[in-house]
Each structure stands twice: as C-alpha cells, then as structure tokens.
Structure 1
Amino acid sequence: MLFLVLCCFWLTPAGFGLEFRYHNSAEVEQYLREVSRNYSSFTHLHSIGHSVEGRELWVLILGQNPRQHRTGIPEFKYVGNMHGNEVVGRVLLLQLIDYLIKNYLSDPFVTRLLNSTRIHILPSMNPDGFESSGRDCMYSQGRFNKNGVDLNRNFPDAFSNDNVILREKEVVAVMEWMKTERFVLSANLHGGAVVASYPYDNSNGGSELQGLSSITPDNDVFIHLAKTYSFNHTTMHKGDSCYDSKDFTDGITNGYSWYPLTGGMQDYNYVWGQCLELTLELSCCKFPPESELPGLWAANKPALLAYMQQAHLGLKGQVLDSNGIPVQNASVEVNGRRNLCPFRTDGNGEYYRLLLPGNYTVTVTHSAHVSITETISVPYGPEKFSALTHNFQLQRSSSDSSLGATIQPTCVSPKLLNSENHSATLLPCAFTALSVLILHRLLLS
C-alpha cells in the first residue's frame, strides 16, 4: 500500500522533481514532455528544427495563452547551450522551467509574469556539442556543432560584407523561429566569465564606434538591461573577475569593447529581429562540478526572473488606419534612435519599443498613409507588468489608390544558405580558421 502511495505521489504533476545534475538530450526531452503533459493549460512544447545529428531543438512556451500570440503580450526568449561545452545555462533554464511551473498561481510574481508575458525557453541550441563535451572546466571539446562551426560566429552580420556563407542547421532554425514570433527581449546564456554583455559585438568603424565601444541607438536601454541582470545576481555586479578575465565595472560590458566578433547572435537579434538581446556569461568554469549547480541556480534565479520582467519597458500598441484596421509594416521610429533596420509593425499592426522612463517623440510612417509624429511620456512599466499602451491612427494618403497594398521593408534579412548537406571535412579552410580562433580566444564566449 505504501509503495502505491509513493508511486502515485511521483506520478502527480506536483510530484516529479528535477535533480541538480547534467541531463543528456534524451532526459531533457523526457522532462520537457512531462512538463508539457502535466501543465498543458499554460505550457506548450514544440521543436523549432534539428541539429546536424538530427536532435530536436525543443522550445517550451509558458504563459496564459502558450499556443498563440495575443495582442499586447510581449514575446520573450531564453536560449541556452549555444556553445555545447558551456553547460550552466542549459541547467539553469531547466531549473527555471521547474520553478515557473511549480509557482504559477501560487506565487504572485510568477503568476503576474506568466499572465502578462509569453516566455519561450530553448534549453539547448547545440545538443550535439553538449553530447560530445568532456567535463573539463575550460578546455573540453564541444564548443562547436557537429560540423566544427562556432554557432555564435555564423549569423548574418550587419557590419560585414561577407554574409554569403553557409548557415548551420541550428542557426537556420533560430532565424526561422524568429520569423514566426516577434520577440521583444531575449538573452543567450554562456559560460567562461561572469558578466552581462550587450550589443554591438562588431563594428566597421562607422559612427557606432565610440571610443573602444560599438554603441547601438538604444545604448541606454541595453545598459539598463545588463545592470538589471548583474545587480539582481548575487555577485556579478561586484565586477570580480575570474582568474583569467578582465574586471567588469558593475558586471557589464559592451561586447565590442570586450572583444569584437563577427556573426554573433545578439547583434542579429537586434538589427534584424527588432529584439534586444544580451549575452549572459554565468560562470568562470564552463563545465563546473555538479556540486556547484545549486549555488549557481541560487545566484542566478533572481536575475533570470527580473530580466524577464523587463519585457514590459517602454511603449507598445498598434498602428491602425482611419477605419481601425491594423497597418502592417509601418515604421515606428523614436527621435534620436535611428536603427540600422527600422522597427516595424507586424501582421497585427503591433509594435514594441523598449524605452526607459522619459518623454519621446515618435514618428510613424507608411507609404500608403500620412506620417504622424507624437510626443509621449513613458512611465516605468515593469513594476506594473505592462509597458505603456499607445495606439497610432494613420490617415490614408490622398495620392495613393492601392488600398491594402503590401509595403516591402527597406531592410531585408540576408538569404539563408542551409548547410544541411555539408560536413566539416568539406570545409578545411573554415575549420582551420576556427581552430586558430579557438586557440586565440579559447576562454571567451
């Protein structure tokens, strides 16, 4: 009888637990399926694609309406294990899922967060690399994917003319994923240092290069986001360096100022995805002993939660025509923040602009309508779990007669060249270059 009671306990949704250890890909999939099955009312599990060796890239969505976007609800994502041998992020994201599902409807913060935000979690972007990793603190293999490619050097780069390269399957999957969801805020989790890094990671020596940093038009917001993470982390904000790293004031750094890189994911998110993303370095040791995992979770949990809440910064709303019909592909530009690719409305006429509290002049333009400019006072939204909602209504241009015409964006993401059928042996030059890079920057992410 006691045996049956214990079995029933472990089979109930509240009964299964998540150990602090490194779970392989099969175990991660099993856990995510259990979560999706037992908490189906506010979670949804789906695959965004496959790794080179055919492993699924599983994403768990959590929120009040997990299966589809709702107007006014920002889309947020966390991506872990981009470098296969940097494993702390993979562990923390599984623990974060466990924490959210067990506290939804009982903890006020978690409940408000999931009711107001649609959260996407990809625990491992590079499962092949993880499966091939050794457990050495810094020097193990597994950083690259199965084709020997660093995924954080494989995205299109706004500052490079060499964008006609093969994209790895994992990178293609993320790029296509970003076309299906209009993400507002994101972070990718790495290891090998303890710091929050923000764009740009690259520069071509243009106006973005200011001193030793490559500065985005939203630099003030990025610094706020990075400090939100570092100051909610138990030690990151102290700037204490790892034994082989530099000191980071307040535990944050501009990516280019730390070290330039081409083809990084956070720059791609910002330039082409309209999504503000940070790179979070979470441990001096890339593959720490399992005994350290509970402490790493305790150090990062408040920061992971506080950062998600920042999806409610600034302004959100819709651009509508005179009949109240959403206007797709209208640009929503903030005076003084000229982005390389303008922020544009989606198919629902919806826009999001993460902004700190203050007064902003916003201009909305669309070729079939008369432009409109308004000055808006923006409060601090995260404390209320909602950015300021402000809709813009456009009047149709008298010179345009093509009702319902689709306006093409002026900034188009580079074409995808999928590397599905190539192998590392077919790319000796690229492999050699990457080998030199990793020897030179072995301890960097």
Structure 2
Amino acid sequence: MSTVVCPVDEAHALHLDAVDPLPARRADFHVPPTTAGGYAEVAYLAGNSLGLQPRATRAALEQELADWARLGVEGHLEAGRPWKPYHELLRDPAARLVGALPAETVVMNSLTVDLHLMMTSFYRPTPERYAIVVEDSTFPSDSYAVQSQARLHGLDPAEAVVRLRPRPGEDCLRTEDVLGFLRREGHRVALVLFGGVNYLTGELMDVPAITAAGRAAGAVVGWDLAHAVGNVPLRLHEWGVDWAAWCHYKYVNGGPGAVAGCFVHERHIADRTLPKLQGWWSTDPATRFAMGPDVAPVDTADSWQLSNPPILAMAPVLVSLRMFDEVGMEALRDRSVRLTGYLADLLATACADVSARVITPADPRRRGCQLSVRITRTPAEEVCARLRHEHGVIADARPPDVVRFAPVPLYCTHHDAWRAATALAAVLSSGPLSSGSGETHDA
C-alpha cells in the first residue's frame, strides 16, 4: 500500500455522505440484509459481478405478467408496452449510455453470443492478416470465444490468438505497449478485442487511443464492455469503435443473466457484404409477418438480431436504463471518482501494515469504480467469506489472491467504503478462518 493517510473514523465517512453533491440512490435498491457487525444491511461492493435489484423492477415484471395473463398472444400488440417492438424501447437509452447513435445499438441475446455474432461478421482472417489480439488476463469466456473462432477458420489458436502481457513486475498493460505492438505487428492483426475495463485488475483501457491505433494498422477493433458500461462514460461512435458488446447485469443492474447489448458503427450497418448469422428478427419489421422465405435487410444494428425479444428479461433492463437517464453518466462518474478515491485512500491507510496491495491503477483516469487488492498469505476466497460472515461486507474473490471491491456510485456510500476497508484490515490482521466457505461470483 502507499503512504497516503486518510481519516479512518466512521464519523468522517458519514460526513462525506452528508455533504456529497450527488447522494447515493440506495433507497431505490434492495440491499441484502445481514446481522454481521451489528448492521442491518450489507455493505455491497460486488456490483462488478451482479448489481443490486432496483425496487421498481418488481412492478415492471408484474405488469408484463399481468398483460400476459390478461391478453395471451394479443399482448404482442396490445400490452401496455407491446411485446413485438419491445426491444425498441431499450434502443435509445442504451445508445445514450454507450455514446452511440440509436441505429448503431441493439439489445439482444447474452454477451458471449453477441461476441460470436460480431466475430462472424468482423473476424475475416487471411493468410497474411489473421491474428486476434487480446489482453493476457482477458475474461475466460472471451478467451474461449476467440480460440473457437480461430478454430472455425481452420487456424491454430496458439498462433492466431496473441495475448499481450504487462511488463515484468507490473499488473496492468501500458497503453504505449499496446500501441507499440500494433505499430510493429499490426500488418498481421485481423481483430483487436480488449475488455474496456479489465475484469481482474480494474484497469480502464484507453479505448480511443487503442481503437485509433488498431484501425490505422488495418485491423478491426471490437470491445467487450461488460465492466465498462454503467461504470465509465463511453463515446463509441465518436471514438470510431468498429463494434462492441456488453452485458447489463453488472453495473446496469438488469438482473442475473440479463439480456446483453451490441454496438455496430454506422459505417458498417449498411454494408450488405458482411457475413451474418440471421434469424426471424433480422428482417425488416414492416414485412416480418408476411412470413417470406428471404431476409429483407435493415440498415441498423437490428440486422444482427436473431430471435424475438425475451420480454421478462428486457423489462428489468428497461427499468435500469431509465435510472441512468435520470442521473446521467457524467454525474455518476464524478461521484465514482470521489467514492473510489476515498476507498483507495482508506485501503492505503487502514491496510498499510498488512499483506495487501491494490493492483488497480492509482490514476483515476485509468480505472472505473473497481479496486482489485492482491492478498498474500491468505486465500482470496477465505478473505471474502470472512468479510461477509464476520463483517457484513460483500466483496468478490478472483482466486487465488485477488479481492475485488466495487463501490458502485448509484447505491454505495462512503460509509460502505469505510466498512469494507476497516473489515479487510481486521480480517488480514487476525487469525485464519475457522468456519464457513470461500465464495466467488460471476465476472
């Protein structure tokens, strides 16, 4: 830890909450209960894995269930929010959240399905240009996906997939090293696919710089924004990103396994030469129910859709997207910088004498709200179990040695951050776990 000294008293945390210019909307969410540490609610710092449930979600789902009960099949056209065009309700708020044009945005499927659909169109290897560049610590599902795409094209993943590693002794990739690789080796790169925020380290990648370098090298540049959407401001259209995909169940609080989203830049959406997997919802909605045998293409991201929208999965996402519209991503980012900076200072002070080290970049411009702490001497799963059972703090373990804390600005408070830092210091300063089990969550 660094030598930063921060007041570690509870009163200071409560004061910061009282004077914050954008208070948390904690009352708008269901916060899990606890009895640990004398608290009624947990300090929930695992929104990087699964966001909390907005209180408005239940009513939205109940409306769809009531319309289904009342109308049956007629709900496709007569429900309060008709089901046939339901995905269109999510288009504009999703586009605003990622900095896209509405025509470039579609909410559909799950994240890895969308990654495969995008790579079907945009990974077109040749004998000279075939490499897929990822960060070495990319999320395993992305690693599996790019390896399988290489195999589909008859390539050896060990040769086709290039994994960029941090410098020896460092935890995060340097932007200049990524740009240097693309200048030197870009002639053989077909696709660059990084996570906007790395799931393990919490590093916010320089999306505009890497996108520009990749495209200048002649590659297609895509982004997995699972840990970036709802966490940091994005301007995908302005930055010239070729395509991106993301989920809505982390920072966007759309529920476990929530339907995902896709972006395709407008320069591609009218390109009829791009190969695509297609289905019923890929065709022009004006003639969809004519039931013809051939697709009538549309020049929007909708043309990458396959199936009719899952209404009960989309309703929670719609609720959450509207909440982001109400608050604004820029205001949330400002609050996130304050809140995450406070937690970083607390960790540096409270844990100065224990075996813990923050591996997330210290520069707020190079991180979102996640702070990853590398623990020595005690397994990360054991630490997270003790945080929950002894202190009522829910964090997230990435075995073997990383504990992730995400003070999500929508619902976390400075007091939550104080509870997390002081609990971690207490756990690491005490003896080994005597009961309970380790816990991990989704990425």
What TM bracket, shorter-length normalisation?
under 0.3
TM-score, reference length from structure 1: 0.22
TM-score, reference length from structure 2: 0.22
- Greater relative contact order structure (CA < 8 Å, 6+ sep): 2
- The structure with the greater share of residues assigned to helix is 2
